[in-house]
Every structure is written in structure tokens, then in C-alpha cells.
A and B are shown apart, each in its own frame.
Chain A
Amino acid sequence: MTDVTPTDSGEPQESATATAVEEVAPDPHALDDAHAELLARFENELGAAVLDTGKAFGMPIVRVQRNEWRRAAEVCRYTLGLDFLSYIAGIDWMPAPKEGGDDGGSDTSSPVQPTETTYGITGSDGRYQVFARVQSTHGNVGITLKVDVDEDALLVQSWVPVYPGADWHERETWEMYGFVFEGHPALRHLYLPTGFEGHPLRKDYPLLSRVVKPWPGLVDVEAMPGGDDDAEPAAAEPATAEEAS
């Protein structure tokens, strides 16, 4: 297992991962030396498999080609010494359809999200992505990897041969999104009961409790005891931070 130690050999940085030029305000997303070096080595190993890179608050993010997902894991574990698997998860970039249809429905309690689809830092091919994070327990580095999932095929390579801990994370991602992980020993339900239909974390799967009943904080469903009709219902408005104080 190779140790990831920061070197100050002054490796030339690629423009896509350039740390901020000294300005008045430091870039909050700037990668420190260790992370920058890790990113450079990763891109070196994977070459053309890297579709895009980005950074978020000091953490490198890399988007990898679909059929190189497992190879990326192998590079991380065996070459770069990132031995700790933090998680594997999925994301659905489609904006959630409005509860109760376009007429607004009765539930105005949820935050209003923008209706156009945007794809975050390293972009995406389509609606679905799987992202994962691996770290090193020796150095203080880690990297987040993303891969696109084809909407029609919903197939992702499994990381279980590389990181045994991927077992449960992939089971959860499968049951929540429906992505099938190739090479996983037994994709079965983890949280949900066997025989559960549907994939809850997809955006088009409605939050049933909000559909069935409007959020009770919005309006008092029952009258206050003692019948003080003048008194305002003690519900806070949902979209403000007032009820937080």
C-alpha cells in the first residue's frame, strides 16, 4: 500500500485543476498540495477515462467514464493508497415534479427548487449518477469520484471486488435508485422490505406522506382547544427561518 505523501517537486499543474492565483480573496475551493498531487496522479493513471474534474472546498471531484469505474477504484486502492471507502451513493438530477400536479396542490411547505435541470460541478451525461468517496487513513487526502449511469441500461460496475465494504453501499443505492451493480454478489434489499416496489430516492417517486396529507405545520387541522377563533394558528411559515429562532 503506497503512502500518499505531499511532495513539493513542483509538478506542473494542469489547467483544469489549477489552484487559485494569489488574489485578494483566496479561493475557498482551492486544493492544497496533497490533494492537488493526488489529483494529478489520478489523472495520470487513468488518462482518457477522466471525463471532467472539479473541486469543491478543497476536495477534488473527478468524473470517470462508465466502463472504467472499477478500474478507477483499483487505481485508488492499490496505486494511490486510498484504503478507506467512505461511501457510494446515487443522485437523480431531474428536478422533482411538483406535488399534486402543476396547479400547485395543497402543499406549499416544501422549498421551491428550480425547474431546469443542472448537473453540478463536473457535469453529467444524463439524469442519473453514482458518486463515491475514498480516502487514505495515512495521509489526509481523499477524492470523490462520479460516474454517469445510462438511463436506459441502469448498469454500473460494482466495486465489491476492490473494496469489500462496497457491498452494503451498493445494495442501498440499488434499492433507492434502481441501478444494477454488475459483479455484486447479491443485490437484495437492505433497508426496505423484500418485495418493495419502486425506487424511493428517484425524484419522480413522491413523498407519500405529503401527498396524502398536507404538512400539518402549515395549517391547524383541528381547532385550538377553548375555541379562541381570533388567535392565529400557531403554525410557522415553512419557507422562513423564523420558526428556527
Chain B
Amino acid sequence: MSTTNPPLPEFDIDPRAFRTLADAQMGVELDTGDMILNLGPQHPATHGTLRLVVRLDGERVIAADPVIGYMHRGYEKLVEFRTYPQITTLINRIDWLSSFANEVPFIDAAEKLMGVEAPPRAQYIRTILTELSRISTFVLFLGEMGLQVGALTPAFYGFRDREHVVNLIEAVTGGRFHPNFNRVGGLKDDLPWGWVNETRTVLKKIYDACDTFEDLVAGNEIFHARTKGVGIIPPEIGAAYGVSGSNLRASGVDWDLRRDGAPYLVYPDLDFKVWTHPDGDSFARYWVRLQETRESCRMVLQLLDALPSGPIMAKVPRIIKVPEGEVWTEVENPLGQMGYYVFSKGATGPFRVKIRSASFSNVSILPWLLRGVFVPDVITILASLYFILGDIDR
């Protein structure tokens, strides 16, 4: 936004009346230079070590360049030196807020290559835990997006309600954040006694919490003023950049890999609605995730009702040797589309694994998206895209 300078008026003034040249020029021309601002890598709004170098004109962004890699752990190199069970410990840590959901597609890939199918009870439990991970990370999102926009209180509610779900996951898997619960062929353990009833109670709490968030945050006029119309992603541009998950659905694209992708876990048997929003702005992304949280609660209730009994582990050899082949699994992770392309050469570990993480593509749209927005809007957009640094940096 440059100012057009008015022409210098002609008048008669003794130049000695001005003490410095700057005084003489004052009021004649306003030259606003560009400022380069570094948001991060330590910054409360960037959810971790993301560095955003923005060139500002006043408070408007002219250009933005995300610098990532502060958390790059080199997973694609590390997995070439590990066996399949060892890799699950690693990939837990890609998206650490919904870590169970990261393990499942990889284990699924290994099982496909081996021709092993996990028993139905294991599939159901995997689906339940995936959906619970989705609920836990979305509830946190609902709270902390309010925090990024300035409301301090919803963040605490988000953490408090997430605790219930995380405690459930801990009861089953033993780990709050990094369960490491999947095994090739099934799961490590069965559900503890009383877990199903406890889950039903927790889901009611989460359902009520969603109502609270809807009132407190999504219904707030100031929140609307801050998020509506901010950071609109047109659907074609979003798809061309690889933006996926709730972000793309908030732009009106009706695409959900749970319903539309290759049959995976128990999703073909589930009855659920895919939520979209036509606007594509930050409010739409918040709203879609709010609805998806409720939808996930309903899905888990369906799954609990239909949970079959039986073994939780198929017959697999002691030493997992995966035959030669290639396989690609893609799933609807809470953050978007996550996929693993596993190249195997018949050894106990993979030859190459390409990890397609959702946040990598979600963040790659930032240089395009942030042109011409205000600095506070940058924060809103970052919050609404909801990326996890481990997911970007792998």
C-alpha cells in the first residue's frame, strides 16, 4: 500500500527557519520503507519451530517465506535402518497430538505386503482409537484457535477436555502421547475392563464441550470479525498445492478419504457425514473441525455398539519379514491426507519409505495465501490451518 505523494507547494520560506533538512522535508513526502519481520522460530503463534519471514509495508504483508526444518529428524533416512516394529516408535512422533493415527497406515501397508489381515476386533479398536485421536486433537484446536485470536480462556477448556480423551488412550495403550500400540497383524493388547463404558461417558462430555466452544468461540462476534473472510483458499488452488483434510473441506470440496478412499479399517461399515463449508476462510476451517469433532463422537459410539469379540492379533511369524513389493496407503489423518509409500525388498525392514505428511502441503500454501493480509491475520491463518511441526518436518 504505497502513498501517492502530493506535489510540493511553492511558497516562500527562509530556509534557515528549518533546523535540519529533515524538518524541511516533513510534510512533503512520506517515504514508508518495507520492514522485514521474523516470526519465529520461537513464537507463541507458530505452534513450534516454524519461522516465517515476512516483508511488511506498515502492517500489511507483501511477501511471506516460511522457513521449516528446525525439527527435521530425517525419518525417511532413519527408517531405512530399522525393522518394522521399530519404525512404529518413530512414526508416532510425526503428528504427536494424534499419534495413534500415524501408526495405523504404516502398519496397514506392512500387513498388505505380507498378505496378513488383522482380525475384526483389532480393526474396530484401531478405528476407535484413531477417531479418539482425532477428537483429542480437534478439541485442542477448538480451544487454542481462540487463544491465537486473543481469547485466553478457551485454550484452557480445550486442554481440560482433551485430558479426558487422552486418559482413555492411556488406559488402553499405556501412553498418553506416543502409544506405540499397533503391531503388524493387530494390536499389542486388548481393551481394559470397563473401558467401553468410560468412553461413552467421556464422549458425552466432549459433546457438551463442543457446545461450549460453539457458544464461546464460534458464536463470538469479535471472533467472526477476526476470522470471516480471512485467508480464503479457493478449492482449485488448495488442491493444486496439496492442501487436504478439513482445510480443503472448508473450501467446499467434498472429499474425505474415510469415505472416498480405498477401503480402510472399518470406515466402509460406518455411517457418517462429511462436513463441508462453502466459504474457505478461517472461520469455515474452525466450523468444519467443530462439526467433525461431533461427528467423530457419533462414530465412536457406533463403533462401540458394534464392537465384535475375538482375537486382537493375527497369526504372524515372530520375525516380521515383509515380502518384496511396493504399496501406498493413504488415510484421512486429523491434519489431512497422510500416506506411506513403502518399498520392500523382502527384508525385516523397508528399503525406502516415503512419508507423505499433511501439514507439509498445508503450510506450502502460505507464500501464496499470506500476500496482502495484515499481521494479525497471519496469526489467524496459521492457527486455522492447524499444522503440527513434527508433521511438517518429519
Please report A residues at the B interface, Cβ cutoff 8 Å: 1, 28, 56-59, 61, 77, 83-87, 89, 91-92, 96, 109-114, 118, 120-121, 131, 133, 137-138, 140, 144, 163-165, 167-169, 176, 189-193, 200-201, 207, 210, 238-245
Contact = CB atoms under 8 A, between A and B. Distances in A.
B291 interface: no
19 contacts: A28-B115, A86-B330, A91-B352, A111-B81, A113-B347, A114-B346, A118-B345, A133-B339, A137-B253, A163-B240, A164-B237, A191-B68, A192-B72, A200-B74, A210-B81, A241-B183, A243-B86, A244-B88, A245-B188
Interface string B156-196: 00000000000000000000000000011000100000000
Contacts of A86: 242, 330, 337, 339, 356
Interface string B336-371: 010101010111110110101000110011001000
A241 B82 contact: no
B345 A83 contact: no
Interface stretch (B53-61, B130-138, B319-327): B319-327
Given A86-B356, A137-B248, A168-B361, 17 more contacts: A59-B262, A85-B239, A85-B240, A86-B330, A87-B339, A111-B82, A113-B349, A114-B345, A164-B240, A164-B241, A167-B364, A190-B68, A191-B72, A193-B69, A207-B81, A238-B83, A241-B319
Contacts of A109: 81
Nearest to B84: A241
B356 A165 contact: no
**3 closest A-B pairs (Cβ-Cβ)?**
A111-B349, A244-B85, A191-B69
B354 A140 contact: no
Given A89-B354, A91-B352, A207 B328 contact: no
Chain B's interface size range is: 35 or more
B242 A87 contact: yes
Contact of B393 (A91, A112, A191): A191
B329 to A, nearest CB: 8
B81 A110 contact: yes
A28 B317 CA distance: 21
A168 B318 contact: no
A44 B360 CA distance: 33
A167 B88 CA distance: 29
Interface string B73-98: 01011101111111010000000000
Interface in B252-294: 253, 255, 260-262
B255 A137 contact: yes
Nearest to A140: B260
B345 A57 contact: no
B69 A138 contact: no
Contacts of B226: none
Nearest to B253: A137
Nearest to A242: B318
Contacts of A193: 69
B339 A207 contact: no
Contact of A140 (B78, B261, B320, B361): B261
Contacts of A131: 341, 354
B319 A239 contact: yes
A96 B80 contact: yes
A11 B337 CA distance: 32
A239 B348 contact: yes
Given A144-B328, A165-B365, A241 B83 contact: yes
Contacts of B88: 244
A120 B343 contact: yes
B244 interface: yes
B326 A56 contact: yes
Nearest to B337: A86
Nearest to A144: B328
A113 B324 CA distance: 11
